[in-house]
Amino acid sequence: GEVLGRRVLCVRICSCPKRDREKEEKKKENTGKKRKIEKKVASPSPSTTAVDTRVFPFSVNIVGEENYKRLVHFSRSLMANEIVKQEGRNDAPFRKCLNEINTLNKSD
């Protein structure tokens, strides 16, 4: 009964060290859990939501040509997006506004 030490060592004696090493490495790699894929909630279809087709005049002075071009581009994108969302239903107000925006850009 002679005490040789008080530390615990993780020692494994086996006949196939390569297999055991690979097994331990895989075990360490797979400690993370996979996240579950969240189901996307379908957004309401455009036909069920009311679309605001009121026209609001907007006149403002813009400083700088680049700022003006960005504002025109943004306005055009908004109206084009609404036309796409309408899928041919009640898109006349948006088309009219888009045509007006396009004439603004051509007058540069």
pTM for the structure as a whole:
0.49
Looking at 30-91, list the stretches that DSSP marks H as alpha helix, in order from N- to C-terminal side: 65-86
Q: What is the distance between the alpha carbons of residues 77 and 71, in angstroms, rounded to a whole number?
A: 10
Burial 17-33 (b: 16+ CB within 10 A, else e): eeeeeeeeeeeeeeeee
| Structural domain boundaries in the chain | 65-106
Write the pLDDT tens digit of every residue in 57-104: 888 899 999 999 999 999 999 999 988 888 878 888 888 988 888 888
Q: At what angle do helices 92-106 and 65-86 cross, to 10 degrees?
A: 160
Q: What is the distance between the alpha carbons of residues 82 and 36, in angstroms, rounded to a whole number?
A: 34
pLDDT band of residue 37 (cuts 50, 70, 90) is confident
